[in-house]
Amino acid sequence: MKTHAAGLKKIALVGNPNSGKTSLFNALTHLRQKVGNYPGVTVDIKKGTAQIGTQRIEVIDLPGTYSIYPKSDDERIVSEVLLDPSHPSHPDAVIVVIDATNLKRNLLFCSQIIDIGLPVLAVLTMGDMLEKRGIRIDPAKLSDQLGIPVLLVNARRQKGIDKLKHYLKEGFDKPKKEIYSDIPLPPALLEAGRKLYPDAGNYFIWLEILRAQQSRKSRDSRIKALKQLLREEEVNIPGIQGKETLERYKKIEEIIMDSVDDSLRKSVQISDRLDDVFTHRVWGPLILLAILFLVFQAVFFLAEFPMRWVEDGTAWVSTVFSSYLPAGWFKNLLVEGVIAGLGGIVVFIPQIAILFGFLSILEDTGYMARISYITDRIMRGVGLSGKSVIPMISGMACAIPAIMATRSIENWRNRLVTILITPFMTCSARLPVYALLISIGVPSKTLLGFINLQGLVLLSMYLLGIGMSMAIAYVLRFLIPADGKSLFVMEMPLYRAPRWRNVFITMYERSKVFVTEAGKVILVISIVLWFLASFGPADLGMSREETNTEQMTQAQYKSYRLEHSFAGYLGKAIEPAIRPIGFDWRMGIAVITSFAAREVFAGTMATIYSVEGEGDEFHSVREAMLHDVDDRGRKVYSLATVLSLLVFYAFAMQCMSTLAVVRRETKSWKWPAIQFAYMTVIAYSASFIVYQLFR
């Protein structure tokens, strides 16, 4: 009885974490992938299309999980999709991906999936590791025992993929038997469940009862009926689940007794020896530091070349458009708004691609788990786990890929806290601002004969960022408390060579998600900022003020335009508010325009001070700012003001792209709004204290 004689339309991939699910998904769909949108789910769920002959099958890659019982909202999607036939992603059939080297534990989840009653096929991965370990598995016997087709597949070498595709094309049956159905439910409840679901097995009914118990409101009439029944019947859910797990493991022992021969089992010596070094008390942390340094350097410096190409390319495109388009607001919109905005999005791609290339290698080789293992103790002091280390280190290059990297943190609470604190890390966009300000406000003195004072201040800025992120993480322990139920048990996979296909697909996919999803927001904000800085009340006929601008040089005219733009008036309007932190209206304008990106600060200053010439802009801006005096003849950029500005740029959320990415990763505007608000408050307060102390 083929359930889908005409073949399948939709299949779901499920399996334990680290089971090779992603590799199989990539092998089936190649680059025909996109990210699906699921309400309440914060991880990305990928959908792809498998092309088999002329047939197209939709493949959905569900989050990796150890059992059907969800431990988080993200995992809940697995049972939702599989149980609810009205769910848009409800599949015709399920592929369970099983790490053959961890058969027993993987079969626990597989046996639960079998008992749901959908057509199931099991794919055994890591077959190449079996031989090395002296384990033999008989797929035919296993298939017989489980009552479902079992295939050995090596996605890396494309072995078994054709056979799998053949099965997908032909379709496959529902499981021939139930593995565990003797659920100790109150008879009345079970009886009622059978009436509601006449075609389903006991396990399906049990899972529906659980769904009813957990759902707050459901439109499904059967779930409602079960909910009603649950009010009358007492059900010991953890007791039933515990008993089920033990019973399943017993059955699994029997099943693998016949189909697995591990009498010649060997230990995995190479991997163990590697761990002796990589997690060694002395060598472990040292190697970790070296690897983190390498990744950081790569994102920081390697990305610089392609980023410069993007900047040059943007400039070239702007020039081309400028010379062919007639002057006017449309040309300005296109060149200074749209093209500059697009360039500002594309410029992040090198950093994102390089970081995710490295992360994918670290993940694939198994080293990522060791990073968490080594650093867990340190991060626990502030209520996080070792998984937050990589995003935070990446944040020292750029917060955007760093925040995208938080998705490897399974625990939502810890992921959110990491997202909230990562922008405090000193990113590369702060460097030009710091360099300019330090050169203005901090004397180039040498302390103790070898310490450069300016260098010392720059180092302090890095430490300030790390310190603040840790402090906020500590405070968030009380504001966003841990649920107390989460377990920080983590698998330490065997060391393996990276799969380059996965690496490249990750690089491509991450960059694409950034451009298509965060990119939209960035483009809109950059056009708004361009408008604010380019137009003023006079342009819209709101002001009758006439100034003779003909005598001005081009630089003076630009400065005049900025001063009389909306951004200029805004800068002046907020002056009373920023006086207490030592800022004047010029700095107010720079704060507004550099919301696009911190490094815009220097460019805005150059415009405000009518700096002439393109060549040595840094030097001329520095001179202009250095010699600027207020109406009482005091230096505008006093030590107090410079320190206040430094602290402000260290703590303020002056980066629209980061906010766009936070919205993308948390799937709501709530968290970027909170983040913007609290970082601004901290920045303002800190600047206030610093300015008042040093003035």
Partner 1 sequence: MRLSDLKPGEEAIISGFTDELKYLQLMEMGCIPGERVRLLSRAPFGDPISIQISSYKLSIRKSEAHNILVEMHSEDTRSLRQA
Q: Is 263 in the site for partner 1 (CB under 8 A)?
A: no
Task: Kindly tell me which of 217 and 485 has the beta carbon lying closer to partner 1.
Answer: 485
Q: Which of 133, 141, 331, 407 binds partner 1 (CB under 8 A)?
A: 133
Task: Kindly tell me which of 275 and 665 has the beta carbon lying closer to partner 1.
Answer: 275
Shortest distance, position 386 Cβ to partner 1, whole Å: 8
Shortest distance, position 612 Cβ to partner 1, whole Å: 56
Q: Is 269 in the site for partner 1 (CB under 8 A)?
A: no
Q: Is 135 in the site for partner 1 (CB under 8 A)?
A: yes
Q: Is 266 in the site for partner 1 (CB under 8 A)?
A: no
Return the sign of the alpha-carbon dihedral for residues 115, 120, 121, 125: negative
Answer for the pair 151, 159: CB distance below 8 angstroms, yes or no. no
Q: Which residues partner with 95 through β-bridges?
A: 13, 121
Q: Which of 141, 161, 249, 496 binds partner 1 (CB under 8 A)?
A: 249
Q: Which of 15, 284, 341, 441 binds partner 1 (CB under 8 A)?
A: 284
Q: In this structure, what token pair is assigned to residue 161?
A: 């993929």
Question: For 431, which DSSP code?
Answer: H
DSSP string, 296-349: HHIIIIITHHHHHHHHHHHHHHHHHHHHHSPSSHHHHIIIIIIIHHHHHHHTTH
Task: Kindly tell me which of 90 and 105 has the beta carbon lying closer to partner 1.
Answer: 105
Binding-site string for partner 1 from residue 60 to residue 89, where x marks contact by CB under 8 A and - marks none: ------xx-x-x------------------
| Interacting residues with partner 1 between 482 and 521 (CB under 8 A) | 484-485, 487-493
Question: For 140, which DSSP code?
Answer: H
Given the structure tokens 């092998």, which residue do they identify? Answer: 27
Shortest distance, position 127 Cβ to partner 1, whole Å: 13
Element (H, E) at 118: none
Nearest by Cα to 29 from 354, 394, 509: 509
Task: Kindly tell me which of 160 and 386 has the beta carbon lying closer to partner 1.
Answer: 386
Q: Which span (282-290, 341-349, 520-528, 596-604) binds partner 1, by CB under 8 A?
A: 282-290
Q: Which of 143, 215, 218, 279 binds partner 1 (CB under 8 A)?
A: 279
Nearest by Cα to 392 from 419, 359, 362, 371: 419
Residue 155, Cα to own-chain centre: how many angstroms?
26
Q: Is 198 in the site for partner 1 (CB under 8 A)?
A: no
Answer for the pair 173, 3: CB distance below 8 angstroms, yes or no. yes
Q: In this structure, what token pair is assigned to residue 670?
A: 């709530």
Q: Is 183 in the site for partner 1 (CB under 8 A)?
A: no
Task: Kindly tell me which of 52 and 135 has the beta carbon lying closer to partner 1.
Answer: 135
Q: Is 22 in the site for partner 1 (CB under 8 A)?
A: no
Binding-site string for partner 1 from residue 358 to residue 387, where x marks contact by CB under 8 A and - marks none: -----------x--xxx-xxx-x-------
Q: Is 253 in the site for partner 1 (CB under 8 A)?
A: yes
Q: Is 467 in the site for partner 1 (CB under 8 A)?
A: no
> CA 204 to CA 183: how far, in whole Å?
11
> CA 157 to CA 304: how far, in whole Å?
35
Number of residues assigned to the chain: 695
Residues 6+ apart with CB under 8 A from 581: 644, 648, 684, 687, 688, 691
Nearest by Cα to 76 from 372, 407, 405, 412: 412
Q: Is 137 in the site for partner 1 (CB under 8 A)?
A: yes
Shortest distance, position 125 Cβ to partner 1, whole Å: 14
User: By CB under 8 A, how many residues form the interface with partner 1?
Assistant: 51
Q: Which span (97-105, 207-215, 221-229, 468-476) binds partner 1, by CB under 8 A?
A: 97-105
Q: Is 579 in the site for partner 1 (CB under 8 A)?
A: no
Shortest distance, position 373 Cβ to partner 1, whole Å: 5
DSSP string, 216-246: SS---HHHHHHHHHHHHS---HHHHHHHHHH
| Interacting residues with partner 1 between 604 and 643 (CB under 8 A) | none
Shortest distance, position 497 Cβ to partner 1, whole Å: 19
CA angle 135, 141, 145 (to 5 degrees): 115
Shortest distance, position 245 Cβ to partner 1, whole Å: 5
Residues 6+ apart with CB under 8 A from 449: none
Q: In this structure, what token pair is assigned to residue 346?
A: 């594309």
Residue 611, Cα to own-chain centre: how many angstroms?
40
Q: Is 245 in the site for partner 1 (CB under 8 A)?
A: yes
Residues that bind partner 1 (CB under 8 A): 66-67, 69, 71, 100-105, 108-109, 133, 135, 137, 238, 241-242, 245-246, 249, 253, 256-257, 260, 262, 265, 275, 279-282, 284-285, 369, 372-374, 376-378, 380, 484-485, 487-493
